Amino acid sequence: MYQVRLWTNRHARAMERLYNIFNPIILRLLRGTSKIFGHSLDKPVTLIEKATKSLFFDCQMCGNCVLSKTGMSCPMNCPKTIRNGPCGGVRANGMCEVKPKMRCVWVDAWEGSAKMKYGDEIKQVQFSVDHRQSGLSSWLKAARDE
C-alpha cells in the first residue's frame, strides 16, 4: 500500500530499530523451526513474510531483500528495479520519471537512510538481483545461510 509505504519510509529510524530487534528473533526462531521441521514450513513462513512486508513496504518478494540498506524503501518498486539509484530522470519535485504520481523510490531511500543509525549502508554497491530467488523467503535464506 502506497500510503503505508510512505509512512514507513518517513519513520525509517523507528523501523530500523524494530528491524534490529525483530530480525535476530525471527532468524533464531526460523533456524530452530528449520532444524525441527526441515523445509515443510517454508510455505507458511514465506506467506507470513510476504504479508508483513507487503503491508509495510509494498514488498515484491524478490528474495534478495536489502530494505535495511535502502532507507526502508523497497527498490523493487522502482519501475526500472534499480539497486543503486536513483536514475537520472527524477522529476524536480522528487516524483518518479516513469510514474509521475509515485515518489521516486530512491529519493525516499536516501532520505530514509539519512534518518537511520546505520544509514550509510546505502553507500555500499549492490549487485543486481539473483532472479532464481524471486518469490522465495529472504528470512529463510538469511536464517539458513548463517
Which of the ranges 5-13, 43-51, 98-106, 126-134 carries the binding residues for ligand SF4, by CB under 6 A? 98-106
Which of the ranges 2-10, 35-43, 83-91, 116-124 carries the binding residues for ligand SF4, by CB under 6 A? 83-91
Q: In this structure, how many other beta carbons lie within 10 angstroms of the beta carbon of residue 32?
A: 11
Give the closest residue to 16 by CA, choosing from 61, 64, 55, 73.
73
**62, 66, 105, 129: residue in contact with ligand SF4 (rule CB under 6 A):** 105
d(CA 98, CA 134): 23
> Buried b / exposed e across 33-68, counting CB within 10 Å, b at 16+?
bbeeeeeeebeebbeebeeebbebbbbbbbbbbbbb
Q: Does 94 bind ligand SF4 (CB under 6 A)?
A: no
Q: Does 87 bind ligand SF4 (CB under 6 A)?
A: yes
**Opening angle at CA 46, ends 127 and 43, nearest 5:** 130
Q: Does 96 bind ligand SF4 (CB under 6 A)?
A: yes
Contact map string, positions 93 to 132, toward other proteins, x by CB under 8 A? xx--xx-----x-xx--xx----------xx-xxxx--x-
Contacting positions for ligand SF4 (CB under 6 A): 78-80, 82, 85-87, 89-90, 96-98, 104-106
